[in-house]
Structure formats: structure tokens, C-alpha cells
A and B are shown apart, each in its own frame.
Chain A
Amino acid sequence: MLELDAGIPDGDIRDKWRNHLEHVKLVGPRNRPKYDIVVVGTGLAGAAAAASLAAQGYRVHVMCFQDSSRRAHSIAAQGGINAPKNYRNDGDGVYRLFYDTQKGGDFRSREANVWRLAEVATGIIDQCTAQGVPFAREYGGQLANRSFGGVLVERTFYCRGQTGQQLLLGGYQALHQQVAAGNAVMYPRTEVQDIVNIDGRCRGVVYRCLQTGEIRSLAADAVVLASGGYGNVFFHSTNAFNSNATAAWRAHKRGAGFANPCYVQIHPTCIPVSGHFQCKLTLMSESLRNDGRVWVPRNPGDTRPPHQIPEGDRYYYLEERYPSFGNLVPRDVAARNAKYVCDDGLGVDGKQQVYLDFTDAIEQRGHQVIAERYGNLFDMYEEITTDSPFKTPMRIFPAVHYCMGGLWVDYNLMTNIPGLYAIGESNFSDHGANRLGASSLMQCLADGYFILPQTINDSLHDIYQDKVGTDHPAFAQHEKQAREHIDWLMARTGSRTPMAIHKELGEVMWDKCGMARTADGLKEALVRIDELKDAYEHDMVVPGRADTTNQALERAGRLGDFLELGHLMCRDALERDESCGCHFREEHQTEDGEVVRNDDEFGNVGVWEWKDDGPHEKTTEDLTFDALPLMTRSYK
């Protein structure tokens, strides 16, 4: 059984964070250079944390598998970042953001964390502006806003359709300023293979240089995982081609609890799969739903081109079913409804796709305005499909996008292994069972700039006296295991490629553990995954050599983790016998297809513990709902 103490500070929810900061232990500036901290991943959370910690004076070692830290997949976030600045004077504020996030997450997130997130969010905009992020401005020179799904205020800040890119470059530049200053060291093209725990504390990592194949160790006083989500379990996702769960999963196998693995967000607006060769889905920003109207033909088998279908024969299903939020319902609701209409045979051309139509918006606002807002997205869409959204409606369908689940962390963002932290998408904490649009950038930067750099001191404070070096036998032993694992992979001489097995895993996960899940389906998936695991072990082929760049070997290593993780996701989905947010169990729904939660039994976080000699064990952390009492989510 895991011992989980979230360490939520006492007091009113509004005062918790402030009180906590007043009592966190500190490390003096002259002592900070004596600490080594490893940061794994250079997305928004990782870059922000590494830059902030290095600027404080810690010696920070930053690892990423890309050739440059600027390429982490946060860069692909399009729409924007939330902050309750209330510039529009439309009634926004910290409580509103808290309320929206908590409700949007369907009451499966930790209240104190969500409040803190809402509280520090305004500072992110200030911080990023100071770094030179060119947020969109109005003609008067003030910051501009747009609106996003699941909320009734305009609080989203943006840089055209490249908000994630600009925020990430801000963090990347700050990080590389520290590299130049000698406070941070970059390890590009590096993949963490294992973490090393000594006497109950995380003391470093074992990593592989992807260019030379060398296995090396790095001793540290704290390890921060900012390695992102595990959406690539599904093979087809909007994640980057190489996004993986390896660092987080190997940490899990060394004792870190994995929370709510079944919470996976399916994003409603992606370009549909077009062929068997496809290995990556492209997201179309949620901001499009500001102006786009979602519809399908009202009659099954209606194959007329969209502009020939009269208004009466169009089914604007979101507007009809959810009059107050309309096309701007949260992602899980929008995605699920797309599935419903397609399951009813209403999908465009009988396929799994629906229209996202801008005709009305172009008529009302003019071609120019729409082009300014979404021009680059439209271009991107046209490049892939050859259709121009200015002329014909986009065809979209949901796709795996974000993982709300992740490593369990306490209020300090530390996992249950002292000295091991998880931030950004790799932890579980703030989004419950569904994340609202423009909130992941917010969470990553909140964790990276404002929370972790202050809470990490708490566990560092009293350990610098007892430094552990890589000469400790535990490092040699972990390195040996990592080498053996690579050797084992290189010895696979079957007939199936890692990508082929991965593709099959993705199909199983999408069918059985995707937008709608059933107990039978999940049980079937568990069996199928075991079969795939068997194929992985006995019938996979890994080409080439291990002492040079070998992308197939990298893929094979990551696939092993995905198989285990996929298995755990199905188990978690099976045991969470309720529907909530993105986790939709068909057994638990209202007559019109809305989720039915079971707060008494599942108003908690499901945390899984790895067992070397048997199946995972589940522990729960109970959630409290003091600041915002439980209610049924309604966007009608």
C-alpha cells in the first residue's frame, strides 16, 4: 500500500498557498550551487522550472530527447493560455477560474491545487510578457483576449495560432540564458532510462545518449520529471511522434504512484484519419469553435455537398442540445457528441467525421477578420486535405490529445518518492477528469515558474550535507540493468516492427478505452494487450546497432512502456465504475447520454502502485469539495 500524504496546508482555501509559502523551508543563495537538480523534459513546465531553478543558483541538468530544447511538444499548442485578468470586465476572477476548472474537471481534481493554479495564473501573463512573448495586442496597445470552451468569460491570451510556441520560446530563451551563465547544462538527444533511489530518496537518473548509445548516470539531489503525457499509447494522437511515457513510467516502476491513468482527453476538433499509413493526427485549435458551427446532415446517407444541404436538413447538434454553451461546450462533451452522431450514422459521407462550418462567421464578420484570426490554421488544414475552409466546411473528428492522469504528487508537486517531482502534464493534479481548453499551458507554466521553484526547497533544505555520487553502487547496478534491457531489445529478431505492434496497441486502446468504455470491452482489451505484450517479447524485430543513432530501438523501448501503461489504463478504467468527465462508462449515463458520477464511491484519486511480482495495487486519495460543493455538470 502506498502511503499518500498530499500535505494540503490548513486554513481557508484562499490562504492555503500564501500560508504554505510562509512556512516552506528555504535554501540560502550561497548554498544553492551545491545542489544538483535534474530536469527531464524541456516543454513549458520543464523549461520554466529549469530556468527558474538555475536563476536561483541551483546547478540544473536538463535532458530532452530532441536535438534542441526548443522542440518540445508544448510548442504545438495553438489556441491560448487562460488567466483571470478580467480585462474585459466580464466578471472574471480567481474564483471563476477555479470554479470553471473544477467543474470542467467534473470534480475529480484536488481543490487546493486548482485554487492555487487559478491564483497564480495572472502572474504567468505578467511573467511571459516581461520575457518578450508577443501576445496579441489591441489597437490601443492593451493585451487582447479570446474565448474558449467551457467558460462564459473571455480570459484567453494568445499569440495568433502559436501561443504554445511563443510561451515555450520564452522559457527556452530563459533556460539558455542560464546555460550561457553556467547554471544549467543541456543534455540534448538524451533519454532517461531509470531513476535511482537510495535510502528512500531519489538520487539521480540513468540515461542513454541517443547519438552514441552510451548508458550513463547523473547523481542529483532532486529529479524533476516534466516529460509530458502518455497520449501516444493510442498510437494516433495529437502528441508529437516521439512523445513518450518512458521517464514517468520507469519512475513508476521504481515506486512512484501513478494516478488516474484512465483520464485521457479526446480533443473534439482534429483532422480525421485519412489512411492506414498515418501515424499522427493534427489538431485544429479549439479557438475555431468561437466562430465555427458544428453540424452533420440530419438524415443518414445524405451525401449532398455541404452547401447544397438546406438549413432545415442540418443538425447543429451542439447548439440544439446545449443552448447556453452551444459550440463552446467543454471538450469531453463536444467529443462525445461527435461520436454519438457518427454512431447514429449521421457522420459526413458515412464516415467518422463532422462539419465545422465558418460560412456564417465569414458572412457576419468578413473574410478579413476570419483570416486574421485563423488564417494559419486554415492554411494548415488546406495543406493536409486540399480543401479550403473559406469555401467548404472543415471535416473534423475527435482524437486523443491530453492525459489528465499522471504521476501522483503532493501539494509540493513531489511524488511519493522524496526528491522526485513531477510537473506539467506528467503529473495528475489539476484537471480532474477533463481539462478545459487553454489550461494546460497555464498549469505547466504555473508549475514551472511559480510553484516548483518555491516548493522544491522544502525537501532540499536538509540534505546537501549527505551528497551521493555516481560512485554509489546503486548507480552501477541500475546502469547494468539499463544495458541489459537495451541488449534484450537488440536481441529481438522476430518479424514484426515496433511500429506495427504499436499501431495495433493503439487500435485496441481507441476501440476499448477511448471515448466510450464498457466493462466487457475493457476486459477484452486487457487480454488483447497481453497478447501484444507477448508479440512484443517474442515476435518483434529491432534492426541496426545500439552504439549509434537507432530510432527503431528508441521506439521499441518506448513501446514496452506503452504496453504496460495501456494495460494499467484499462484496469483503472475498469475499476472506476462510474462516468466522469472524459472517462465515459456506457453503463453509467443518463437517458440523453450525459455522464453519471458516483461521488460516494469514486470521489477520489485512484493511485496505482507497481509490483515487481504481481499486478498493480490501487490506493485512493479522497478528495474534498469544500470551496465548491459537488454538483451535476450542466452546459445546457
Chain B
Amino acid sequence: MRVMSFYRTAIGKKVVVAVTGVVLFLFLILHMAGNLKVFAGPGVIDEYALHLRTIMEPIFGWAGVLWITRAVLLVCVVAHIVTVFLLIKQNKRARPQRYRRHHLQASTIAARLMQASGAVILIFVVLHILQFTTGDIQPAPVLFVEEDGHEMAEVYRNLHAAFSMWWVAAIYIFVMACICIHLYHGGWSFLQTLGLDNQDRNRGFRIWAWLLSFGLFVGFSSVPFCFWTGILPAPADHAADVSETH
């Protein structure tokens, strides 16, 4: 009951957005750490993908932990977006008539683009899952292998195939830029919303948010960039694959 009445207030909703945002932020850091394994060679990242499915397998079964994580993330994404929509509705009501030309002074570009960058990210996430997780959309062929009787994607190979196409890499890098500015504002904002910010720390927090979000941008973008430019090598049997599919 108390939680519901808390959620009904504007601040309650902001806190929900902030907390779910933090969870998603943390997930992105892990996601990026996993991605960077491509630089250790094709075998390593595929092994990592397998590992994700076998963590605590005796307790949770094949990919059990992965599914739990996915469920948590889904809840966070839904809560984040639904709450943001409710807030936008409230804010529209609070300012029914706009100024002839509102001269914004203090807000950052990142803050003003929160809704737009958020929308881009949402569309991207859907496409990204359809592409690399389920293989439903295939700008480049997505390959699956059998492990312990379960089907799973071949990570390195798929990445290489997709990002060798310049426009796929470009779209990914563009979206990563959107995520970067979304997280710059979000990364500082959640500290302010949760009341952790203050005058002495503000500068530090801003720098922190910038470093973190820019770090994520660099980390994430490096993968498509390096496949596209050929810095990351093709898988060993790459030539064979290509001839197979043709």
C-alpha cells in the first residue's frame, strides 16, 4: 500500500525511473565487459556465451540464470518506460500552453534529448534482440550451434558477419552515441533524484557520469568499429562459411 501511494507521487515515479535506470546501466556495463571478450579471440567469447548459460546450471537448469536476468531486465525496462510515459503525461498537463519560443538556458543537450534518445534505444533493443538472440531478422546470416542439446548462436561468427556490412556497424555506433548521451544525463540524474547529489559532489558526479557513459560508448562501439575496419580478424573458417551460404 505504502509503495503504491509512493508511486502515485511524482517523486515516487522519478525514483522508480532512477532505480530501474541504474539496474539497466549496470547491465550495460556487464554486457560491455562480455562484448570486449571478442578482442581475446573468437573462442573466448563463444565460451563466455556458453558460460552464461551454464552458471549455476545444477540449480537453475540450462540458461536458468540468464532467463532470470532477462526477466529482471524486462521488468525494469517496462517499469522504466511506463513510468516515463506517466510522467510525460503529467508534465504535458502541467504546461498546457507553450511559450512562443522558450529560451532554454541551463539544460544540457543530453537532458533535452532524453525522450528522443530513449525512443531510439527502445527500437534498437527490440531489433538487436531479434537480430542476435532470436535470429529473426538477418541483415547477415545468423548461425546457431548445438550445445548439450540446446541451440545457441555462434557469437563471434555472427558479429563478424553483421558488422562487416558498413551500414550495420554505422547504425550500431549511432545508437551507442544515443545510449551515451542518455546515460550521461541519466547517470548524473539518478544521483540527483535519489538525493545523493550536492554542491561539493556535483562536479565529481558530472565527470563520473560523463566518463562512464563515454566509456560505455567507446567500449560498445569498438566491436562494430573493429569488425568493420577489419582490425578484428575474420573467424578461421570464414571463407568456408561464406561459400556454404552462397
Report A-B touching, CB under 8 Å: no
The chain A residues found within 8 Å of chain B, CB to CB, are none
